[in-house]
Structure 1
Amino acid sequence: MSKRDYYEILEVSKNASAEEIKKAYRKKAIQFHPDKNPGNSEAEEKFKEAAEAYEILSNDEKRRRYDQYGHAGVGGASGGGGYGGGMSMDDIFSHFGDIFGGGFGGGFSGFGGFGGGRSQQRVNKGSNLRVKVKLTLQEIANGVEKKIKVKKYVSCSHCSGTGAANGSSYSDCSTCRGTGQVTRISNTILGQMQTTSTCPSCNGEGKIITQKCAQCNGEGLMRQDEVVTIQIPAGVEEGMQLSVSGKGNAARRGGINGDLLILIQEEKHPELIRDGSDLVFNLSLSVPDAILGSAVEIPTVEGKVKVKIDAGTQPGKTLRLKGKGLPDINGYRRGDLLVRINVYIPKDLPKEEARLVEKLKESEAFTPGEDAGQNFFSRMKNMFE
């Protein structure tokens, strides 16, 4: 069965902004939320389908791939462990609950009686780290392994990340009674509205430490350097962001580590210019080489190659060297090297060379016409020899 278009699922245009996509998903999630549709399997599937669409379209890189290649460009989403098929309802809540102000992740419980009792203790997640990595064109062409040193928060070795001193105990938070969340009920024109938010006293942990670890002051974290090895695939581009799961900051008092976000920067090549997967080289030829032809060396990311320049090559002509560009990051093709021909015209000439040019000017070969070049190349060769 073919999958539905993600834009169609959320009922937005392909030019929709991130905010429009977020609002559209929120509307769909409210409409098909299980608490509003108890026992309705069709509504539950639509709820998961909307979450899958939002997971792709809210991520700039995934959205770009989807726009370019469709479902195949994002691994089919649900077939590859996406939200539509591979994750539970609670997984969806934990990933996207923030767009509902915190209450959605722990239970919808709104609209006067639709509460589902999904309240659960908050799972801590460490913050993400972002680093910039500069790459040469050769590294981009072949992919590269990089070792980078990052300063990050790790679990305190003295208390194993708990934040509590040895032998210390925990007590339930008196504000939230150990749930990690506080609930408020307000009256609206639609009836009573119940909202759930993170407990401000225990930061959603549900527990209070009776005696804090002296080394980390109860945070469960210490700051230190760590060397992280990352594999950068071939074909990445300037501004692209890669994510290394679990290599960010450790979570406060246990939980899930954040991610390490790698922002790609390209080092400028002294001779080659990047244009997507293609590379461009501007070749300057002397007038004699353009007229008589020549063999020149062209730089590529793999070293220099010899290219034959035909006699009578015109300025502005572009030669295409197939497969000498960069690989596509998705592995579909490899770009080409485009050699753009420029002819160098000197500003000042010695008198002797100027006289030669004057002779050339008188030649019929310099008069535009279909037969102008007959016997010209042999005459030119004799003159320059």
Structure 2
Amino acid sequence: MKFTQFLKQKGPIGAIFMGVFYAVAMLGIFLPGYTAIPGNIDKLPIAIINDDAGEYGAKIADQLEESLPFKEIETNVTNKQALKELEKNDLALVVHIPETFSADMQKGKVSSSIDFTMNEAGATTVSSTMNSVVKQINDQLSSQFSQQTAQGVLMDVHVPEEQAAALAKKIDTAYVGNVVAINEMPEGMNNNMLPMFLSMAGYVGAMIGAMQLVGAFKANRNKASRRRLFTYMQLTALLIAVVSSALAAGIAFLVNDPGSNALFNLMGQQIINYMVFFNFTAIFMFLLGDFGMIVNLPILFIQTLANGSVIPREMMHLPYEWASYISPMYYSVQAYFANLYGSISASPFIWSLLAVGAAALIINIVLVAFVHKPVAEEVVETASKAEKAPTSREVTV
């Protein structure tokens, strides 16, 4: 056999196609998606609340609005309302200037400082970006207030203005920014990435399971009814979901130690994840056959970016943002963040996940009922077409 003859066979052709397709799909999806960092940082919403009764607060608030690289800055909310939005990750940062800030700074007190509050139970890009932004703000304000505060203190004790200005440069910074992190995560990248890894593990396993079980469904249509085979598929998927979720939760517990209560919540959600992912990916297997697996791969790549683990929805480019609304992985990741590290209920995300799963199940039922006919009907239909087709002996005029 010649090499060219070998290359023309089904196996080598498939391997060549998948190698090229995988490289193009993965790089073509991942690289454009990650250009959102840091390009779309300005899309993150923040809040600046000025409760200061003096002049410093207003000046700082105006200065921050002009200098910060964010297009959406809320100012007409209370600190309490802003913190509630922050817990839901509807805000990326809350800057609060307290009521006594100006008075305290004029007296040289550092007990009343500006609060910068962030939520760590969310996309990694947000927390790292906000930490960098807050550091820059604090450095700027420290240098701005150090001389002003020191000079004011010295003048209050009747030191001449010129002498006070000279001595002020030698006095340590009076301003100290108060950085507050809510829903703090344990140290280690493994903790930050756990929601994504759990979701990815369930999704990839369910995608391969869908390919195998849809194949078994098609291979056994002459042995049982479509309804029974479809039920068997779902029961098998549920069995896989329970076993694989128990193992996934066990590994997460051994490595990350989320706690016994979180362990059972984690396992329960992972079971739901698998069933939703299974039916979501099975749609393309029922609809397109073996080619459905090729379609499932780029959909997986898109969800890897659109799941909100690294990039929040506000920063995503439009195609990825649209995908996040129908992506089961997005709701899975957000539910894990809320369950494992957050202070809000995971219920809204779980219900959204179940809604996607229910829609996928209904679509699969419709495909089984109207697209995949019983084997007997297919045989009759094939025979009928064969009878109508002209034979080689027929002469056309």
**If the length of structure 2 is used for normalisation, what is the TM-score?**
0.29
* Higher RCO, 1 vs 2 (CA within 8 Å, ≥6 residues apart): 2
Normalized per residue, the structure richer in strand is 1
**If the length of structure 1 is used for normalisation, what is the TM-score?**
0.30
